[in-house]
């Protein structure tokens, strides 16, 4: 059985150093850094990942590329009596991933749209770049689509802020299944917080 075009596209992104020339990647990052933080793109950079996350090339579906800083949590210095090692400034990892933060920021930037999903498209020494797929719940083509019209229901408002996207579910531990995950559902707050 022959592989689909999306499988070939996915293989290209799995080993970008081997398949994409470094000059091309470097030029692309340079161009992205000059663009605004929230940059609407006409078509996805990674079509295979976008399709996997629910993208459709139709009206009412918007793709926005955004960038977010890399690394651990940024904390201000505490000028109280502490050993420098006990200040709690560095080497602190936030509970939310940078992908979730990117989705939330895009969701706040476009309040009339709903975040469907997102995927990684690149990174440099200081920033990570994600493309976020958004849906317009009030657009006629979305309302007529049987696979996407669920987003118009009011119970799906603020999906990104409630950890309902794929990245959000990973952060909540809901991507795990089977033995040992009995305490994860319905949420990490349930079962006296013993889920994580």
What confidence tens digit (pLDDT) does each residue in 67-100 have?
Answer: 999 988 888 877 778 787 778 777 888 889 999 9
Average pLDDT over all residues of the chain = 88
Check whether residue 139 and residue 108 sit in a common domain.
yes
111 and 178 in one domain?
no
The answer to whether the CB of 58 falls within 8 A of the CB of 145 is: yes
Structure tokens at 68: 């977010």
Helix (H) or strand (E) holding 67: strand 61-69
Secondary structure of 99-140 as H, E, C letters: HHHHHHHHHHHCCCCEEEEEEEEEECCCEEEEEEEEECCCCH
Residues 14 and 105 in one domain: yes
Average pLDDT over residues 127-145: 95
Q: Read off the CATH number of the domain in which 14 is found.
A: 3.40.1120.10
CA–CA dist 195, 184 (Å, integer):
5
Q: What pTM does this model have?
A: 0.86
**Cα separations in angstroms, 178 against 4, 32, 53, 167, 187:** 31, 41, 24, 20, 16
> Are 185 and 118 part of one and the same domain?
no
Query: Does the N-terminal peptide bond of residue 105 adopt cis geometry, omega within 30 degrees of 0?
Result: no
Determine whether 1 is exposed, middle or buried from the number of CB atoms within 10 Å of its CB (0-12, 13-18, 19+): exposed
Q: Give the tens place of pLDDT for each residue, 14-53.
A: 665 555 666 677 888 899 999 999 999 999 999 999 999 9
Asked if residue 23 belongs to a domain, the reply is yes
Three-class DSSP category at 12: helix
Is the Cβ–Cβ distance between 100 and 169 less than 8 Å?
A: no
Could you tell me if residue 76 is inside a domain? no
Q: How many domains does the chain have?
A: 2
CA distances from 7 to 2, 13, 44, 48 (A): 10, 10, 16, 7
pLDDT band for position 135 (cuts 50, 70, 90): very high
Domain that holds residue 186: 165-196
- Based on the domain organization, do 113 and 47 belong to the same domain? yes
Q: Is residue 86 included in any domain, yes or no? A: no
| Torsions phi, psi for 122 (to 5 deg) | 165, 170
Interval 162-185: pLDDT, tens: 999 999 999 888 888 888 888 888
* Residue that has been written with the tokens 């006629």 in this structure: 140
SS3 content of the chain, % helix, strand, coil (to 5): 35, 15, 45
């Amino acid at each position: 059985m022959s592989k689909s075009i999306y499988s070939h596209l996915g293989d290209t992104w799995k080993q970008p150093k081997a398949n994409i020339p470094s000059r091309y990647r470097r030029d692309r990052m340079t161009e992205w850094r000059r663009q605004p933080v929230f940059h609407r793109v006409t078509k996805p950079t990674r079509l295979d990942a976008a399709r996997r996350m629910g993208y459709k090339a139709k009206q009412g579906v918007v793709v926005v590329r955004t960038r977010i800083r890399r690394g651990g949590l940024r904390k201000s210095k505490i000028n109280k009596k502490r050993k420098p090692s006990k200040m709690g400034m560095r080497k602190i990892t936030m509970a939310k991933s940078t992908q979730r933060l990117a989705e939330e920021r895009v969701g706040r930037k476009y309040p009339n749209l709903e975040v469907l999903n997102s995927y990684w498209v690149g990174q440099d020494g200081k920033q990570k770049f994600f493309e976020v797929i958004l849906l317009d719940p009030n657009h006629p083509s979305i309302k007529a689509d049987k696979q996407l019209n669920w987003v118009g229901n009011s119970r799906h408002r603020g999906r990104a802020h409630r950890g309902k996207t794929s990245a959000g579910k990973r952060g909540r531990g809901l991507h795990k299944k089977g033995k040992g995950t009995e305490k994860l559902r319905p949420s990490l707050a349930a079962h006296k917080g013993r889920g994580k």
